[in-house]
Chains A and B, each alone.
Chain A
Amino acid sequence: MVAEADRLPLAAAGSPNPRDRLAIAGIRLPVWRGIWFGLGLAAALALPFAVQSFTVFQMTQALIYAIAILGLNLLTGFNGQFSLGHSAFYAIGAYTAAILMNNWEVPYYWTLIPAGLICLVAGFLFGLPALRLEGLYLALATFALATATPQLLKYSHFEAFTGGVQGLDVFKPDSPVAWLSNDQWYYFFTLGVLLVLFLCAWNLVRGRTGRAIIAIRDNPIAARAMGINTALYKSLTFGVSALYTGIAGALGAIVVEFVAPDSFTFILAVTFLVGGVVGGVTSIPGAIFGGFFVLLIPNLSEWVAGMTGRTDAKGLSWAVYGLFLILAVYIMPSGAAGFVRWLTAKLAR
């Protein structure tokens, strides 16, 4: 499922990673990591003041996608389970937030926790039958889940809650800080949530639980022999993955101020998968790359298609998008993170 070269080394806890002693241009790798993180964070903090408010809105959305993609990466990259159905969890998160805000006037920041918890339970429950499925069978079951979601949301008996075909309106929060516009405020709010969630994922993957999760991916039988409860860990990973995606869904509902069944189609699940694979499924920072990729490339494709100069060129943009995807797979078979790893290995001495 994951290329051999792409696998994380399972170093024993506490022992230093031998790669950490390598250096590029006289600077050691851990220091490089710190530099890139610092630069990235500085850019993330400074950019909203330098660009238009629509761009801030788009960046917020890319960050939200990154959270959802990180959830998928935990499942696919680290635990080796496929999912084409994460749009369903995103939808559950989004609807939870919308219903809480509409029916009970819950403040927006409190909606994230119930959205995440409901998705955790939903993901865990879907993960239970998924235990028996591997690889493509799981992809198929989750594909069916993604296709069925919009229909369930439109189902007339749930209409009192879900608003049926028309969906629900959500109101974007006002900025509590005078010198931040609403868009900027919400961007920083999302950035904060993202940092907390990424830190949690980072710790999860590097701890005992994370090693169990990775061991199940690499060799389920050996993992079981070592005393890992594979069934429990697989379902739990499914749940945690759904939790991330659900929180992203709640954030997404608030930023677009609207939820409707047709925004949560199979295409959305595919978007997450594309972002994950292009960023690198076994990577945590890769999810951010993926988030920006899936947001920017469709726009770029539209622009390229527009260069043909025809009035109906918009229809062609998805074909250009497809070409970009094939190109990305050709150039970076194990994602941007794999590409960076390869580059580091080339440069480091």
Chain B
Amino acid sequence: MELFLHQTMSGLATGAIYACIALAVVMIYQAIDHFNFAQGEMAMFSTFVAWQMMAWGLPFWLAFVFCVALSFAGGLAIERIVFGPIHNAPVLSHVIVFIALFSIFNSVAGFIWDFTIKPFPSPFPAEMPTGFTLISAHEAGMIGVTLLMLGLIYLFFRFTKVGLAMRAAAANPESARLVGVSVAWMLALGWGLAAAIGAVAGMLIAPIVYLEPNMMLGILLYGFAGAVVGGLTSPHGAVVGGFLMGVVENLAGTFVIGSELKLTFALVVIVAVLLFKPAGMFGRVVVKRV
């Protein structure tokens, strides 16, 4: 029972990261109808930037804020510079550009900071102050930061004018354009937000998985799985899906299949969900008129 509770808790903690990545994936999917395969690598790159700033002597939270701001600007720039000119190209061309970004980020990170594994500091205390042993302070902090970020995003989309404009641009670009929303800039903003969310996820998971250019691939897969489980059209569904994936992965890894087949497990979950409930738990069923 002790083991079960412990595994559930640490599952929730990794789930928080999957939730962040799933959320970033869903944000971009909502904005442009594509999956960003480079999402994980962008997050990894942001984390390296934060590491570099800390190596130059900045305190954690200052580096955190700078890094999120830089990632936001970076995501915005990528959309404007790389994707702007090929906006009307076939989907497959977009996929190729995602792949190109993936290999560029991975390779440049390895080139600048090399492929050795680096420790990444945690901003949270090493010991739980209350003597509560089921969950480490870092894991609790991770869950807290994720939930806080979600709250902020919810408020942003629900109560600000820009948030409304972004939703409009995603839901119906033509009508949005008619009422004066710049759809192109909303797309870019969506990319910026997704990059910033990814950066937060990267900085939170790095103390656990350690920092190296290939740290994100497995996490990205679970993020995708979380997004699919929750429903690709639903940001809060993605978050629930992410947490769920974390818990289920940990419990299945401990009690059922062992750690050898963890990725295969993600495959089985994705295929099973897509087969029986293609819209996910919270997604709405999109009906297309023909």
Contact = CB atoms under 8 A, between A and B. Distances in A.
Contact of B86 (A266, A312, A330): A330
A144 B104 contact: no
Nearest to B38: A322
A76 B100 contact: no
B85 A334 contact: no
B260 A151 contact: yes
Contacts of A319: 103-104, 107-108, 111
Interface in A288-332: 312, 315-319, 321-323, 325-326, 328-330
A139 B95 contact: yes
Q: How big is chain B's contact interface, by range?
A: 35 or more
Given A318-B104, A318-B106, A326-B97, A140 B35 contact: yes
B130 to A, nearest CB: 39
B91 A1 contact: yes
Nearest to A126: B271
Q: How big is chain A's contact interface, by range?
A: 35 or more
A328 B89 CA distance: 12
A325 B92 contact: no
A2 to B, nearest CB: 6
Given A144-B225, A273-B95, A325 B100 contact: yes
27 contacts: A3-B90, A132-B275, A133-B278, A136-B34, A137-B228, A144-B263, A144-B271, A145-B267, A147-B263, A148-B264, A151-B264, A266-B217, A273-B96, A273-B99, A315-B107, A316-B108, A318-B106, A319-B111, A322-B99, A322-B101, A325-B96, A325-B100, A326-B82, A326-B100, A329-B93, A333-B90, A334-B93
Interface of B: 29, 33-35, 37, 82, 85-86, 89-93, 95-97, 99-104, 106-108, 110-111, 114-115, 217, 221, 224-225, 228, 260-264, 266-267, 270-271, 274-275, 278, 290
Interface of A: 1-3, 6, 76, 129, 132-133, 135-137, 139-141, 143-145, 147-148, 151-152, 154-156, 221, 266, 270, 273-274, 277-278, 281, 312, 315-319, 321-323, 325-326, 328-330, 333-334
